[in-house]
Amino acid sequence: MVPLSYIAVATPEAAIRRTAEGQGAEYIAGGTDMIQLLQEGIVAPLELVDINGIAFDDVSVAIDGIRIGAMARLSDVADDPVIRERVPVVSRALYESASPQVRNMATVGGNLLQRTRCLYFRDATTPCNKRVPGSGCSALDGQNRVNAILGGSDHCIAAYPGDLAVALVAVDAELMVTGPTGERTILVENLHQLPGDTPHIETVLKPGDLITAIWIPLAAAGRRSHYLKVRDRTTFEWSLASAAVSLGLHDDVILDARVAVGGVGTKPWRLRHVEDMLVNQRLDQALARAAGECSADGAEPRGQNAFKVTLLRRTVERALLQIGGLA
Amino acid sequence: MNAPLTPSVGQPVSRVDGPLKVTGHARYAAEFDIPDMLHAALVLSTVPNGTIAAIDDEAARRAPGVHAVITHENAPRLPYRRMSQRPQVDAQSGDQLQVFQGPKIHFNGQPVAVVVAETLEQATHAASLVNVAYEEDEAFTRFELDRGQRPSSGNEKAGRPAETQMGDADAAFAAAPVKVDATYIQPREHHNAIEPHATIALWDGDFLTLYDKTQWVDNDRKEIAHVFGIHEDAIRVVSPFVGGAFGSALRTWPHVTVAALAAKVVRRPVRVELTRRELYTSVGFRPHTEQRVALGAERDGTLTAIIQEAWTQISDYEEYAEVTLDPARNTYACPNVRTRYRLVEMNTNSPCPMRGPGVATGLLAHETAMDELAVALGMDPIALRLKNYAEKDQHKDLPWSSKELRECYRIGAERFGWAGRNPEPRSMRADGQLVGYGMATAAYPAHRSKASAEATLFSNGTALIRTAASDMGPGTYTSMTQVAADALGLPLEAVRFELGDTDMPFAPVHGGSITLASVGTAVEAACRALLDDLSHVIGADLSGPFAGLSADDLEWRDGGAVRRGGGEMVPFEKLLRELKLDKIVGHGTSAPGQESKTYSSCAFGAVFAEVRVDPDLGTVRVHRVIGAYDIGRVVNPKTAHSQCIGGMVGAIGMALLEQAEWDERFGRVMNSNLAEYLVPVCADIRELDAFFVESEDRIFNPLGVKGVAELGICGVAPAIGNAVYHATGRRIRDFPILPDKLL
Ligand SMILES: Cc1cc2nc3c(=O)[nH]c(=O)nc-3n(C[C@H](O)[C@H](O)[C@H](O)COP(=O)(O)OP(=O)(O)OC[C@H]3O[C@@H](n4cnc5c(N)ncnc54)[C@H](O)[C@@H]3O)c2cc1C
């Protein structure tokens, strides 16, 4: 760990000023990922700007949507009655994340920006293009069981590990971001970028950008939704594969569908072709199976993660069956 | 007068050290607050084989707070005297890793420098500034069976023979009407105890004090004495609490030498505490082992041939070997048995014992193969085991000092509800999941070693017992207090037990499940010596109530002495006060006798597991595990039960989750942290239960106990694997059984 300075701020303006001007300042919220990254020597900011004092930490409902403050803790959001009732996919994804202790500490803003669990990114002694651009990707031919089968490149196959972002994609959520040039919104679906030949650039955020809130439009909150996560042990593990599904249903007919999957892509992965085949169909066993079947189309497995192709298909199928009360 | 005391042995006494632990008052090695203490951070090699070409430590030396950067270029040369006989917990041949004595690199993660600084943060930062260049040599990082070599004579003598042969197993196997023949893989596993290893070293002139995490203070002292070429009398090791070890703190690892060396160089106390990642290379692990098991049987299930062959990994500087093939040789009766053991040298740190060392590994393969044989025979797995019940230890050709394994099968099956099992694989379901029942035999040899203890009775009627034993979690503090309380006729609260200090009477290693049988009998002997002494004194006190009586005429109970056959109890307080004694001390030693040559001793069990497997997603959850055990006399049913179910938790990891993800290109464990190295979490644990069958082994030792710790992890993983087979019809021989393998 490199010596660094620390400052706590109470307003977005103060936070942005620190990180936009200062060279090498980074935000720290719950610190549950940042501390790991510091200890392992994966990041080395010169200054940590503590944003826990910024009071954007509640869930509020407006006529057109639900707003979640970026500094809200995962446990509070998971427990929130509005979230549980209107967007169960979000609540479920949070309950299935980490452990109660981590959830009490971690913020939703930080959660979206957590870094990959690729074993080589996390071990500073091995080559990794994401950590040290140009050094090579050790995962391509290495221990890549947890790595991505979708969206990878010759430079990086690190999977995006988080659950919340996947659920948010399924409810058309947006981020409210304040930066040096003012405020803007970003679809969660567009937050993360494909690795391509610049895997060290992970999101569309610019230095100084602060996520202030997550916005879930009420239209999406009206759909039936569900999150299914598959992993080796019962809990406290990132997903091997997960599926966030939200369906606008009339009787058994699907009018509107979102299907996003996690643990398998280099970013939260939306399956538009699966959504298309669901719309205007009756949700039954056969449809769930057919949708599951094509959910891994385009997958490029690399050795140990080949099982994820089958696992992903079955996960999507199971999630659809569950949401339809068919499992 | 108080009500008569009931004996404490046999009672489910809660841990006497529990309150200290849960209130944070139990002090662990890293927590001793030593004035002027400095902190150390290691620099580890990043290549698996080669030599250090150059070290640039300029920046580190100039970093704030740094007192020293020690490398092979400037470290004092240490004599590393050889021991005439290495303790069993060490590798039996080769030399231990010598720190900072030369440029040779044996494995990725080897300490190449240590930085000592005012604070841990300063030390860690400075360590990151040390630049090391290597000349790399071709590394052996693949586990290749054809590179397997015979164990050296040291290991052969220590009971890890290269080959054994009884009858003609190959001919019998060829002729057997029913047979199975398969290969099983058990990956490298790490102990991952919650307390990281830590050492504080403090020199006072030529006298060294070590606060250390160790399961054996006496050996720690001996090892460091040999490394530094100093007298054992010039070293004291203190280790009152150990936060779990599972075998990782049996032997003394290089970081202990680093602490002592660094403290000598900087002339200040130094603390070394390993990080979680460092624990994967700075202490040992359960070695990757591949085994072939071939079993032949008559159609009625009678075993006619057992062939078991094992290949296991070792480092290139030491030869640590295990008793992996013992279960093949003595678990069942069979006239034709052949075993073969080979070691595969690799560029890795040395493996070491991990709970149930060798035996758990051997049983994993053997008990899975037995299940496969039961399937091939169309026979119930318990019936197959009873058919081949070993009435004696056929390998040693000795009778068992006790064996209640039949009763274990019976009680275990009954409590589990084995009768409700439909033997057909994939035939049982619940809540949309496949249900499987599986079972296996557990066995772990019972040993004892020479041990000693000191008992002191004070004039206030309390007693203090001391011995250089250890308590890594099983409950040594508690069981010894119970044994002493009963021996002295005192209530539990009047007895204090202390351990973990070389200033105390010597004790053997706290490992191999030997502590109760070894140290417990010494504690009892020390108490008896004390009482014998006391009876002499009070018999000789002509004005006292017991004038003229001898030990045989007296009984000790309810906190004092009573004349045998009746009479008034005179409390210890009164006796000692009237004799004008502050205290009276007894010393006791115990050791195995002839019985270890005329009997074979072993703890046994029958383990039953129920799993639920998702038919589409391949996830396996252990619904329940029930074990029935023969552990001899049960001194404390509560801590014994905890030992057993704790072993089951470990074994759920072994069966379903644990594996070091080794990268052959770097010779490195890539998942060396607790987020990616998976062990069971609370939600993985459902119903676990253990029952103890009626048993008492007075042949093995006067207390009648056998030992339980290692046994608890034995047999559980194969029972789970066998249940997975029963649930799915899929036999997974390559552990752990991850969902990938069942899709
Ligand atoms: C053992 C373990 C298991 C876990 N398992 C899971 C799991 O199963 N599923 C899952 O989804 N997650 C899991 N996590 C990850 C965990 O949820 C995240 O670490 C956590 O949500 C991050 O939030 P934080 O507030 O602690 O972020 P920090 O660690 O403080 O920050 C993380 C990153 O986000 C940036 N950041 C934080 N807030 C903002 C903001 N408002 N605007 C801009 N940038 C910001 C920081 O600069 C930093 O780069 C696990 C973590 C651990 C330690």
- Indicate the pLDDT class of residue A99, thresholds 50, 70 and 90: very high
Interface membership of B617 toward A (CB under 8 Å): yes
Residues pairing with B332 in the sheet: B389
Which of A145, A236, A289, A312 would best serve as a mutation to test chain B binding (most B beta carbons within 10 A)?
A236
* Shortest-distance Cα residue to atom 4 of ligand 1: A98
pLDDT digits (tens, 9 = 90+) for A38-86: 999 999 999 999 999 999 999 999 999 999 999 999 999 999 999 999 9
The CATH number of whichever domain residue A29 belongs to comes to 3.30.43
- Contact: A236, B656; criterion CB under 8 Å: no
Protein residue with its CA nearest to atom 45 in ligand 1:
A110
Domain-located, residue A67: no
Ligand 1: residue whose CA is nearest its atom 35:
A110
Could you tell me if residue B2 is inside a domain?
no
Closest-approach residue (CA) in chain B for A319:
B617
Please check whether residues B331 and B209 belong to one and the same domain: no
Closest chain A residue to B738, measured at CA: A232
pLDDT mean over A124-140: 98
Q: From the CB of A210, is ligand 1 less than 6 Å away?
A: yes
Which pLDDT belongs to residue A253?
A: 96
Residue A23 confidence (pLDDT): 75
Q: Check A310 against B743: CB less than 8 A apart.
A: yes
Low-confidence stretches of chain B (pLDDT beneath 70): 1-3
Query: The tokens of B373 are what?
Result: 């044989």
- Nearest CB among A120, A145, A315 relative to B617 is that of A315
Roughly how many angstroms between the first and final C-alpha of chain A, as a whole number?
49
Q: Is B230 on the interface with A (CB under 8 A)?
A: no
Cα separation, A166 vs A188, in Å, equals: 9
Check A120 against B670: CB less than 8 A apart.
yes
How many structural domains is chain B composed of?
3
The greatest distance separating any two alpha carbons of chain B, rounded to the nearest whole angstrom, comes to: 85
User: What pLDDT is recorded for position B1?
Assistant: 41
Question: Does residue A201 fall inside a structural domain?
Answer: no
A173 belongs to a structural domain:
no
Residues B205 and B99 in one domain: yes
CA distance A70 to chain B (A): 25
Chain B, window 55-74: residues with a beta carbon less than 8 angstroms from a chain A beta carbon: 64
C-beta atoms of B621 and A234 within 8 A: yes
Determine the residue of A13, A75, A114 to mutate for testing ligand 1's pocket, defined as the one with the most ligand atoms within 8 A of the Cβ atom. Answer: A114
**Assigned domain for B373 exists:** yes
Report the residue of chain B nearest A315, measured CA to CA: B617
Closest residue by Cα to residue B280 from B338, B202, B196: B196
B491 touches chain A (CB under 8 A): no
For B182-209, the pLDDT digits (tens) are: 999 999 999 999 999 999 999 999 999 9
Are B709 and B658 within one domain? yes
Which pLDDT does position B6 carry in this prediction? 87
CATH of the domain at A247: 3.30.390.50
Same domain assignment for residues B663 and B566: no
Closest residue by Cα to residue B95 from B325, B270, B257: B257
CATH number at residue B120: 3.30.365.10
Domain termination site, one of B574, B591, B608: B591
In single-letter form, the type of residue at position B546 comes to F
Domain of residue B104, residue span? 32-138+194-244+249-282
Contacts for A227 with CB less than 8 Å, ≥ 6 apart:
A88, A89, A90, A92, A93, A96, A163, A166, A167, A242, A243, A244, A245, A319
The answer to whether position A278 is within a domain reads yes
Q: Which tokens sit at B641?
A: 């039960």
Residue A69 lies in a domain: no
From the candidates B273, B319, B658, B710, which is the catalytic residue? B710
Q: Do B743 and A317 touch (CB under 8 A)?
A: no
**pLDDT band of A34, cuts 50, 70, 90:** very high
Q: Which domain holds residue A8?
A: 1-54
Same domain, B635 and B730: yes
Whether B710 sits among the annotated catalytic residues: the reply is yes
Q: Are residue B498 and residue B432 in the same domain, yes or no?
A: no
CA distances from B413 to B385, B418, B609 (A): 13, 5, 10
The per-residue pLDDT for range A199-208, each reduced to its tens digit, is 999 999 999 9
- A76 touches ligand 1 (CB under 6 Å): no
Predicted confidence at residue A221, as pLDDT, reads 86
Extended beta strands in B299-403, E state: 303-314, 318-319, 337-345, 392-393, 398-399
In a domain, B496, yes or no: yes
**Ligand 1 centre distance from Cα of residue A29 (Å):** 8
Report yes or no: B128 at the A interface, CB cutoff 8 Å.
yes
Interface check for B673 against chain A (CB to CB < 8 A): the answer is yes
- Together in a domain, B413 and B306: yes
Is residue A251 situated within a structural domain? yes
**A163 CA: nearest ligand 1 atom:** 11
Tell me how far apart the terminal alpha carbons of chain B are, to the nearest angstrom. 70
Shared-domain flag, residues B605 and B664: yes
Mind telling me how many Å the CA of B446 is from chain A's nearest CA?
Answer: 34
Contacts of A318 in chain B (CB under 8 A): 616-617
**Strand arrangement, sheet containing B337-345:** B163-166, B337-345, B303-314, B289-297, B178-186
For residues B613 and B673, membership in a common domain is answered with yes
ipTM greater than 0.90, yes or no? yes
Contact call for residues A237 and A231 (beta carbons, < 8 A): yes
Same domain, B695 and B654: yes
Q: Does any domain span residue A181?
A: no
Contact B739 A310 (CB under 8 A): no
In the listed set B282, B305, B336, which residue is the last one of a domain according to the structure?
A: B282
A242 lines ligand 1 (CB under 6 A): no
The verdict on residue B3 lying in a domain is no
* Residue A104 to chain B, least CA–CA distance (Å): 17
* Residue where a domain stops, chosen among A54, A76, A93: A54
Rounded to whole angstroms, the Cα distance separating A323 from A318 reads 9
Q: Provide the pLDDT for residue B3.
A: 63
Number of H helices, E strands in chain A: 14, 12
Token pair in block for residue A293: 């079947």
Residues on chain B touching A41 (C-beta within 8 angstroms): 128
Specify if A8 maps to a domain.
yes
Residue where one domain finishes, among candidates B559, B591, B623:
B591
Does the beta carbon of A238 lie inside 6 Å of ligand 1?
yes
Cα distance between residue B620 and residue B433, in whole Å: 9
Mean pLDDT over the full length of chain A: 97
Same domain? For B338 and B462 the reply is no
- Please give the tally of structural domains in chain A: 2
Which residue in the block uniquely carries the two structure tokens 């006729």? B489
CB contact (8 A) between residue A235 and residue B680: no
- CA gap A320, A324 in Å, rounded: 6
pLDDT at A22: 66
Q: CA B518 → CA A280, B17, B341, B481, B591, distances in Å?
A: 75, 21, 30, 15, 7
Select the residue from A234, A238, A318, A320 to test the B interface by mutation, using most B Cβ atoms within 10 A: A234
